[in-house]
């Protein structure tokens, strides 16, 4: 039997096929931006063909689980092609989406355009109602105004309504009544309630996240349903799971109920895989670097801990749902090189995507990209891209770079190509440095775990700029996130707003709340087929010093069978908060009062453990894997040199390759510069060392 993991990215759709014996099959298909589910099926077809020419129906009949990750939620926001959304909110509060946190992104720019909002002002309707900060009803809901707002939504052909009332996180009565009225007046109109999406204070964060949830829901739901129908039509009778932005998986029905969980779905899988690999091979601190066709995603993983955030950006929109903390920049294989008005060379953030793609694809692309530069420099073999499935035209790449970059700058084509590559390398290094230092970490104390089709081409140059000595490139780097998706466990959390000093907590009340949360999460996990033995519950709370505005998450000890919260649990919670505050801000004060502002319970149920197949030791000599020698440009060697190129499928455990050299894999290419060495470890992966010999 098999398990399949699919990651639909902006340029390629990646697939990983996990066999029962621990071996892996991989595939890459071009993403069909107008029909993502068809692109996912194309990838499954390639996986089937790789299994001795199986038909798709034969492969799916032998597959028990398919897990799907996608950038569709994020792309819907970035591309502004979501649902026509209406917002119903408390009267006089419809401008919160523009006011945001009041402070401008750039305080000194008087011409800064107004923030982009997903719901235009004419589709935001205020209704009379008011709930107080402690949950009391100050002004009853004016139902006639609600009926009027729904009538306006009908008139404007709205697809969905976001209901956002003040303080509904503590008393959702008015929001739930609006939901009842929508069902009665306009049954076909979908709706989303802020009290369900994000039951916590901070109006802008809650309102904007709810609007995002509404805006993406129809498109995400349609994508999931279409893919599910295609699988059923092909005879799939197993389980389809959906990857979430918090690095967990959920069922189709739960993902359709709450598609906001799919924001950052694909990128969250990279850190999950990197963390798993780091623990297995002995790296305590890991930086996950995933450079694909459209973007580069970076995540810092100290001590093997995947960091999450409730303050992320999806395009220009702030998202307060917890997601894996991933920093993204517009640098990938398809990133377009261009000259600005001052004649300065830039790369990205715009991408050529899969269609038309880089100029060298020969599909009508006219603007030079990072991939075109890599072909000109010899980094990517024109005759072995995707294992030879796509033939690249180096002449087209040279012509585009010459006409649009080299000639205007009065430099050679090679220098222009090297400039494009160097800018991407520097921007990626800068992004890693910012991601580490913003959290108080020195990147030199980390190893990089690299993935993505473009990642291994540039990663050793990036590491060299940062002073990082160890780099790990998995054999499946080209389908980095797809493999990470296969590693994901069931993961859910619920939270509830409370506000009290830690010294004044009602332990019985808190215990009862956690018991109720556990009951709800247990029911969710049962729907997904998770087992009690594989499930653990983590109790957390958002804590701050009394008088602060923002909170930090701190954990309690594991609960006992009765789920009772003890004084000791609160002491541990407070101590963990002090430690987190010191780690985050560089100081803590145990003499100050601490305040709980929200509690949450997180449930994680392990699905399975992914085992990597070990290889027998074959010695250091890699000569049996030498495919050819060809010219590759290394500035350290002042230009092109005849460089040994190794067949990645023939390299074995123990083989050591000294730079300059190239390893040609089917889904990526590893560039090994001078002064670097790469060894093949017992799993068939590549462990690189810069500035020193591998022992």
Domain range annotation of the chain: 2-77+221-262, 82-212, 489-605, 623-690
User: In this model, does residue 561 exceed pLDDT 70?
Assistant: no
∠ Cα 287 293 298 (to 5°): 15
Residues contacting 652, CB < 8 A, separation 6+: 615, 618, 619, 624, 625, 680, 684
Segment 597-627, tens digit of pLDDT:
999 999 999 887 777 788 999 999 999 999 9
Q: Which of 22-31, 171-180, 538-547, 666-675 has the lowest mean pLDDT?
A: 22-31
CA atoms within 13 A on the CB side of 612: 20
pLDDT at 202: 87
Least confident of 257-271, 413-427, 600-614, 663-677: 600-614
The CA distance from 274 to 459, in Å, is 15
Q: pLDDT over 90 for what percent of the chain?
A: 73
Instruction: Residues 2-77+221-262: name the CATH superfamily.
Output: ATPase, nucleotide binding domain (3.30.420.40)
Q: Tell whether the model's pLDDT for residue 1 goes beyond 90.
A: no
Contact 296, 328 (CB under 8 A): yes
Q: What is the pLDDT of residue 156?
A: 96
- Give the closest residue to 226 by CA, choosing from 246, 240, 247, 245: 240
* 445: three-class secondary structure by DSSP: helix
Cis-peptide, bond into residue 356, ω within 30° of zero: yes
Pick among 3.40.1360, 3.30.460, 3.40.50, 2.60.40: CATH of 82-212:
3.40.1360
Q: How far is CA 538 from CA 365, 515, 555, in A?
A: 50, 12, 7
Residue 693: the pLDDT is: 57
Average pLDDT over residues 664-669: 92
Give 260-283 as a DSSP string. Answer: GGGTTTTTTHHHHHHHHHHHHHT-
Split at pLDDT 50, 70, 90, the class of 358 is very high
Residue 311 or residue 218, greater confidence: 218
- The answer regarding whether domain 489-605 maps to CATH 3.30.200 reads no
pLDDT band of 103, cuts 50, 70, 90 = low
Q: For tokens 């349609």, name the residue.
A: 222
């Amino acid at each position: 039997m098999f398990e399949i993991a699919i990651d639909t990215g902006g340029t390629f759709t990646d697939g990983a096929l996990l066999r029962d014996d621990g071996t892996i099959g991989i595939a890459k298909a071009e993403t069909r931006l107008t029909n993502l589910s068809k692109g996912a099926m194309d990838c499954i077809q390639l996986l089937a063909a790789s299994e001795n020419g199986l038909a798709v129906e034969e492969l799916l009949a032998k597959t028990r689980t398919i897990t799907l990750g996608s950038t569709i939620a994020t792309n819907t926001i970035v591309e502004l092609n979501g649902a026509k959304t209406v917002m119903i909110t408390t009267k006089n509060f419809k401008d919160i989406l523009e006011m945001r946190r009041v402070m401008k992104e750039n305080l000194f720019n008087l011409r800064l355009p107004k923030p982009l909002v997903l719901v235009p002002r004419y589709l935001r309707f205020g209704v009379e109602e008011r709930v107080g900060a402690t949950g009391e009803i100050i002004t009853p809901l004016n139902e006639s105004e609600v009926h009027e707002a729904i009538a306006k939504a009908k008139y404007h052909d709205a697809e969905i309504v976001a209901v956002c009332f003040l303080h509904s996180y503590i008393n959702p009565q008015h929001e739930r009544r609006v939901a009842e009225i929508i069902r009665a007046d306009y049954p076909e109109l979908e709706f989303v309630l802020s009290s369900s999406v994000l039951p916590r204070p901070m109006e802008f964060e809650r309102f904007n996240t709810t609007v995002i949830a509404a805006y993406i829901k129809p498109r995400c739901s349609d994508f999931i349903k279409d893919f599910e129908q295609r699988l059923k039509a092909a005879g799939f009778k197993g389980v389809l799971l959906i990857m979430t932005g918090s690095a967990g998986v959920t069922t189709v029905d739960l993902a359709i109920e709450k598609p906001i969980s799919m924001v950052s779905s694909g990128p969250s899988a990279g850190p999950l895989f990197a963390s798993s690999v780091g623990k297995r091979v002995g790296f305590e601190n890991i930086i996950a670097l995933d450079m694909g066709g459209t973007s580069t995603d970076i995540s810092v993983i100290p001590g093997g801990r995947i960091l999450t955030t409730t303050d992320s950006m999806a395009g220009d929109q702030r998202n307060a749902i917890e997601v894996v903390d991933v920093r993204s920049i517009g640098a990938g294989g398809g990133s377009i090189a261009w000259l600005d008005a001052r004649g300065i060379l830039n790369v990205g953030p715009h991408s050529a995507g899969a269609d038309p793609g880089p100029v060298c694809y020969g599909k009508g692309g006219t603007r030079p990209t990072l991939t075109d530069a890599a072909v000109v420099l010899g980094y990517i073999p024109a005759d072995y891209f995707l294992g030879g499935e796509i033939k690249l035209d180096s002449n087209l790449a040279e012509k585009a770079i010459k006409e649009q970059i080299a000639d205007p700058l009065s430099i050679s084509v090679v220098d222009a190509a090297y400039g494009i590559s160097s800018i991407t390398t520097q921007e990626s290094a800068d992004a890693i440095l910012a991601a580490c230092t913003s959290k108080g970490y020195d990147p030199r104390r980390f190893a990089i775990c690299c993935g993505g089709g473009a990642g291994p081409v540039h990663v050793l140059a990036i590491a060299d700029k940062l002073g990082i000595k160890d780099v790990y490139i998995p054999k499946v780097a080209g389908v980095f996130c797809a493999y990470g998706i296969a590693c994901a466990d069931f993961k859910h959390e619920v939270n509830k707003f409370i506000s009290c000093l830690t010294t004044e907590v009602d332990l019985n009340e808190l215990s009862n709340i956690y018991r109720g949360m556990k009951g709800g999460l247990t029911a969710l996990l049962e729907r997904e087929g998770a087992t009690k033995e594989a499930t653990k519950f983590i109790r957390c709370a958002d804590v701050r010093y009394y008088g602060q505005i923002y909170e930090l998450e701190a954990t309690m000890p594991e609960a006992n069978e009765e789920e009772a919260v003890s004084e000791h649990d609160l002491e541990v919670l407070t101590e963990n908060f002090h430690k987190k505050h010191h780690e985050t801000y560089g100081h803590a004060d145990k003499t100050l009062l601490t305040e709980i502002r929200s509690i949450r319970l997180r449930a994680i149920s392990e699905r399975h453990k992914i085992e990597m197949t070990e290889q027998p030791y074959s010695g250091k000599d890699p000569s049996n894997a030498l495919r050819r020698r060809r010219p590759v440009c290394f500035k350290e060697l002042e230009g092109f040199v005849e460089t040994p190129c190794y067949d990645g499928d023939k390299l074995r455990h123990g083989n050591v390759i000294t730079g300059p050299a190239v390893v040609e894999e089917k889904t990526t290419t590893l560039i090994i510069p001078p002064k670097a060495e790469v060894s093949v470890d017992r799993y068939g992966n590549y462990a690189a060392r810069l500035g020193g010999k591998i022992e």
